[in-house]
A and B are shown apart, each in its own frame.
Chain A
């Protein structure tokens, strides 16, 4: 059996591309606008999000037969919230500068609809290994968008990639200027809009 035919691979690939949480489902836009000014913050945010998504899906899937139906949303949120607080505490202890830049947005992962959506829609009705892979897939989908947006905004907004200057001085001497607009949230909105359009187009063309 080919790797690409297995259920596990599909569980990973579908949310990562065909059903991308940001570009296709239009979820989690708020944090994608806020933390993508630099690649560094995008990267840490994507890691934090993937960690919470995969781990919460795994834990909820393991507990899915024990969780009473009438308080399941609360139970799911308790798991998610605990993981988010853990992540936040960890970042504040070991990556203080980045956690300051991310400010409230790590805490706001709790309210990110992608996570509760996956918990409720997938983890509650699938075995743990698939739920974990589904979390990773959604995390990868989220990360790919965040990193692309972060890359474009940092490159055109401040001429840097991961904090290193990549646009040579001679360009600036010749009259090149950084796009100040790229540093503002509306720039991310426009980039995500264009990416959503491109991705929808590619997916539709493949289907035909």
Chain B
């Protein structure tokens, strides 16, 4: 056999062996990996509404239990109609997760899918039942540069979002924006809508700002429904800040 033939045969055999090995490993482990991803997704949903502590370790069974006890998934159409997620949709249905406690909706959780610098950024944002205040925010998958844009997965960045408002004082949707530098240095009226940026990751911040705005605009009909509820309750009780309990007692 000539050297040329030898080389080609070797290369082909090598490719086949490596290919088979990797295919076997990838398909064999796929089930477990997908279960891990699903578990991680649920963990992130629970994290946005503070149902699990980031300090503690949870087994997959615990996560599943806490998730089943508190979170319900629904679908919502572009006009804001709530539909059963299992039904076959005639139009585009977006997922929404409700955190229910004692039969009342505490928070609603939106999946975030944003463009990033290198790839898609996936996460969740929980909003309180006033339709404006952010309860929590997490990111569970991204491909930003570790140490720069990758900081979006860190707690200091995500903790920033809690308490921020997506509405301005006139009731207009302004979304949450990622500041360049610290949000505290911005003029006072802007502060509730900005979170601290990451130095060295201006572009990631810009992409995420756009992504959040897009998601929040899409879910605006749902948020409006929550705000109306809050307003109705406020008129009934004549309290400046309407508490759920006050509304019930009347």
Contact = CB atoms under 8 A, between A and B. Distances in A.
Interface of A: 34, 66-68, 70-71, 74-75, 78-79, 81-82, 85-86, 89-90, 92-94, 96, 100, 103-105, 185
Contacts of B18: 78-79, 81-82
B40 A96 contact: yes
A68 B3 CA distance: 8
Contact of A103 (B11, B26, B37, B146): B146
Contact of A92 (B7, B10, B33): B33
B150 interface: yes
B246 interface: no
Nearest to A92: B33
Contacts of A93: 29, 32-33, 36
Contact of A100 (B11, B21, B40): B40
Nearest to A33: B147
B25 interface: yes
Interface string B188-220: 000000000000000000000000000000000
Interface string B1-17: 00100110011001100
Interface of B: 3, 6-7, 10-11, 14-15, 18, 21-22, 25-26, 29, 32-33, 36-37, 39-40, 146-147, 150
B119 to A, nearest CB: 11
Contact of B10 (A66, A82, A90): A66
A68 to B, nearest CB: 4
Contacts of B22: 82, 85-86
Contacts of A86: 21-22, 25
A71 B10 contact: yes
A86 B26 CA distance: 8
B155 to A, nearest CB: 12
A96 B150 CA distance: 18
Which of B11, B14, B39 is packed against the most chain A CB atoms within 10 Å? B14
Contacts of B32: 93-94
Contact of A68 (B6, B39, B147): B6
A81 B19 CA distance: 11
Contact of A71 (B11, B21, B146): B11
A96 B140 CA distance: 12
B140 to A, nearest CB: 8
A89 B40 contact: no
19 contacts: A71-B7, A71-B10, A74-B11, A78-B14, A79-B18, A82-B18, A85-B22, A86-B22, A86-B25, A89-B29, A92-B33, A93-B33, A94-B32, A96-B36, A96-B39, A96-B40, A100-B40, A103-B150, A104-B146
B8 to A, nearest CB: 9
Nearest to B39: A96
Contacts of B26: 89
Contacts of A92: 29, 33, 36
A68 B1 CA distance: 13
A67 B10 contact: yes
A85 B36 CA distance: 18
A71 B39 CA distance: 43
Nearest to A96: B36
Which of A92, A93, A105 is packed against the most chain B CB atoms within 10 Å? A93
Given A34-B147, A89-B29, A94-B32, 5 more contacts: A82-B18, A85-B22, A92-B36, A105-B146, A185-B147
A105 to B, nearest CB: 8
Nearest to A35: B146
Contacts of B36: 92-93, 96
A192 to B, nearest CB: 16
Given A68-B6, A96-B40, A89 B14 contact: no
Nearest to A185: B147
A82 B21 contact: yes
A67 B165 CA distance: 63
B214 to A, nearest CB: 26
A62 to B, nearest CB: 13
Given A90-B29, A96-B36, A100-B40, A75 B10 contact: yes
A86 to B, nearest CB: 5
A70 B8 CA distance: 11
